[in-house]
Amino acid sequence: MKQTDEELGRWIVAPLVILFIIVLFRTAWLCDDAFITYRTIDHWIDGRGLVFNLGERVQAYSHPMWMLTIALLYWVSGDIYFTPILASILLSTLAVSLLAFRIAEDRTQAILCLLVLLSSQAFIDYSTSGLENPLTHLLLALFGAEFLKKAPSEWNLFGLALLGGLLATNRMDCLLLIGPALGYAIVRLSRANTLTWAACLRQTLLGFSPFLLWTAFSVVYYGFPFPNTAYAKLGTQIPRKELLEQGGYYFLDSLGTDPVTLMVIVWSLLLVFLSNDRNPRRIALGAGVILYALYIAFIAGDFMSGRFLAAPLFVALMIFRPRLATVRMKLTERLFAASVIVFVGLSAGNPPLLTGASYGLDPNSAEWVGPHGVANERAYYYQDTGLLRAHRGGNLRAVRDHAWKIRGSFRLQGNVFLAGGLGFLGFFSEPEDHLIDFHGLVDPLLARLPVDQRWRIGHFPRGLPMGYVETLDSGENRIENGDLALYYDKLSVLTRGPIFSIVRFKEIWAMNWRSYDKWLDRYDERFEQPVQ
């Protein structure tokens, strides 16, 4: 019977992986935020620098490794629509295949994991989208295959650290997911006298060299170690209570619109921490999931429904065990568990398995945005960028034409434009157009100014300082507020001055140690014009 069950499982796993690929092709899409990165890539490939606006060095993306990956592929293909979609499908398929055929302990775990992923709106939606999730999932799968499937004595600490460094380079906050596991590996190897503490430190630092090198490059080129988006979204000065409440709403939104994702994360963690064998490696990865969940609550979640839950779900499935006991599940128990997953997944409002070319068609698109600002982004953009819409004129032609049609309405003065969403508009604008995002994502000055009280998660509007538009248009500092004008002069040395300059390196040190924040603290908001 055991052999029969194993053979049956083998015949089920492969078709489920194929079904996953089919679902990805049916749901593949691109979001507006991805094109903020793509405008930077377009400038870089054309020799204009790794910038969003010409002449201003600002890191307007939070995923350097993903940016470099798409840049290389775009340089080869010359196509910005199919390139990220096909790359995402390939990387996501590799990640899921590693989970099913390499990480899962048996066919039961593989089948249940695949059913969960097929039912998870968060995972399916962000297995494409143009954002960095597919590469994150693949790196997590490679880390899990090394950490979970090999005996501690066989661990390659450099390999684990290298994967951790690549994850951090791809998205810095992913360190929380694998940090406890990497720490456990270091402690285990050193205590077992496999490696000395000095050797552990050396191999860890060597492994993290991609992340350390990128950080060094970011400081030298951009003037700051973190992306501008971090300063815009994490330095809002909004009371922590409000942010935590919004983080709670983010989890509630997932529970209401995509119940499989959050339920399986919790289910997996309970089974890991309550299991009879108390496997320390699974506990370490489980601790990473908990840390990441706390981080999501701390930063108030995101406006993209489920985006930040896809990676924790993937890690939760790597350590998932179908039941508390160590004995194998009976066939009837497997069928029941599979039925429950499929039922819960199909009972959601927009199950990925049932969506097609008509997804997102609704006379009132505002319904895709929840009462607390969390949105179903794929539903919002699918009709314009969905892969199944490509042959219907729905790939970027319609988006490009619309961007050109409305471009003039965002012009403030000269070649300076103001908008709230800069992805599509920025990519299809002229290279010399200077676009201001009043949420501060691509603007180094606005990212550091006080946030308007009428904020939505992920969208923190700032008023425009009087004289700032004239400053950007003329190239001369015409900001009316004296304190802010002084701060902008220092900031401009970092973002606009000669890269290799002693004066600039001194200002980089002073700016990052917040020596000039006194001018921001004295900034008078009466010297700004509100954004309508």
Mean pLDDT score, 1-9: 52
What pLDDT, on a 0 to 100 scale, did the predictor assign at position 1? Answer: 42
What pLDDT, on a 0 to 100 scale, did the predictor assign at position 319? Answer: 95
Instruction: Please tell me the distance from the alpha carbon of residue 375 to that of residue 208, in angstroms, as a whole number.
Output: 35
Q: Which residues lie below 8 Å from residue 288, measured CB to CB, with a gap of 6+?
A: 176, 177, 178, 179, 180, 181, 315
What pLDDT, on a 0 to 100 scale, did the predictor assign at position 522? Answer: 87
What pLDDT, on a 0 to 100 scale, did the predictor assign at position 291? Answer: 98
The arrangement of strands across the sheet holding 416-419 comes to 411-413, 416-419, 434-437
What pLDDT, on a 0 to 100 scale, did the predictor assign at position 393? Answer: 53
Of 228, 297, 240, 238, nearest to 439 by C-alpha is 228
What pLDDT, on a 0 to 100 scale, did the predictor assign at position 333? Answer: 58
What pLDDT, on a 0 to 100 scale, did the predictor assign at position 325? Answer: 41
CB 185 within 8 A of CB 200: no
Instruction: Please tell me the distance from the alpha carbon of residue 459 to that of residue 440, in angstroms, as a whole number.
Output: 9
What is the pLDDT confidence band of residue 278, given thresholds at 50, 70 and 90?
A: confident
- Over the Cα atoms of the chain, what is R_g? 24
Instruction: Please tell me the distance from the alpha carbon of residue 309 to that of residue 295, in angstroms, as a whole number.
Output: 11
Q: How far is CA 337 from the centre of its chain?
A: 30
Task: Flag whether pLDDT at 485 surpasses 90.
Answer: yes
Instruction: Please tell me the distance from the alpha carbon of residue 186 to that of residue 56, in angstroms, as a whole number.
Output: 41
What pLDDT, on a 0 to 100 scale, did the predictor assign at position 328? Answer: 53
Instruction: Please tell me the distance from the alpha carbon of residue 373 to that of residue 361, in angstroms, as a whole number.
Output: 20
Q: In 351-463, which ranges are E strands?
A: 411-413, 416-419, 434-437
Mean pLDDT score, 267-284: 89
The pLDDT mean for the chain works out to 90
Instruction: Please tell me the distance from the alpha carbon of residue 54 to that of residue 77, in angstroms, as a whole number.
Output: 24
The identity of residue 174, as a single letter, is: C
Q: What are the DSSP calls for 216-267, one per residue? A: HHHHHHTSSSS-HHHHHHH-----HHHHHHHHHHHHHHHHHH-HHHHHHHHH
Question: What's the chain's length in residues?
Answer: 532
Q: Which token pair is 196?
A: 């000395």
SS3 30: strand
Give me the phi and psi of 369, to 5 degrees please: -105, 120
For residue range 317-343, list pLDDT tens digits in order.
999 876 544 445 555 555 566 667 777
What pLDDT, on a 0 to 100 scale, did the predictor assign at position 220? Answer: 98
The identity of residue 134, as a single letter, is: P
Q: Which residues lie below 8 Å from residue 203, measured CB to CB, with a gap of 6+?
A: 157, 158, 161, 195
Q: Which token pair is 27?
A: 């749901």
Task: Flag whether pLDDT at 527 surpasses 60.
Answer: no
What pLDDT, on a 0 to 100 scale, did the predictor assign at position 57? Answer: 98
What pLDDT, on a 0 to 100 scale, did the predictor assign at position 324? Answer: 44
Instruction: Please tell me the distance from the alpha carbon of residue 178 to that of residue 490, in angstroms, as a whole number.
Output: 37
Mean pLDDT score, 426-446: 95
Q: How far is CA 520 from the centre of its chain?
A: 29
Q: Which token pair is 327?
A: 């004995």
For residue range 416-425, list pLDDT tens digits in order.
999 888 999 9
Mean pLDDT score, 302-313: 97
Biggest CA pair distance of the chain: 81
Query: Which of the two residues, 239 and 346, has the higher pLDDT score?
Result: 239
For residue range 84-135, list pLDDT tens digits in order.
999 999 999 999 999 999 999 888 889 989 999 999 999 999 999 999 999 9
Of 311, 319, 316, nearest to 279 by C-alpha is 319
Percent of the chain predicted with pLDDT > 90: 73
**Which one-letter DSSP state was computed for residue 150?**
S
For residue range 371-401, list pLDDT tens digits in order.
999 999 999 999 889 999 886 555 687 788 8
What is the pLDDT confidence band of residue 217, given thresholds at 50, 70 and 90?
A: very high
- Residue 117: other Cβ atoms inside 10 A: 32
What pLDDT, on a 0 to 100 scale, did the predictor assign at position 343? Answer: 72
Of 255, 12, 22, 251, nearest to 127 by C-alpha is 22
Mean pLDDT score, 27-38: 96
What is the pLDDT confidence band of residue 62, given thresholds at 50, 70 and 90?
A: very high
Mean pLDDT score, 69-89: 96
Alpha helix stretches (DSSP H) within 99-235: 107-119, 121-125, 133-149, 157-170, 175-191, 197-207, 209-221, 228-234
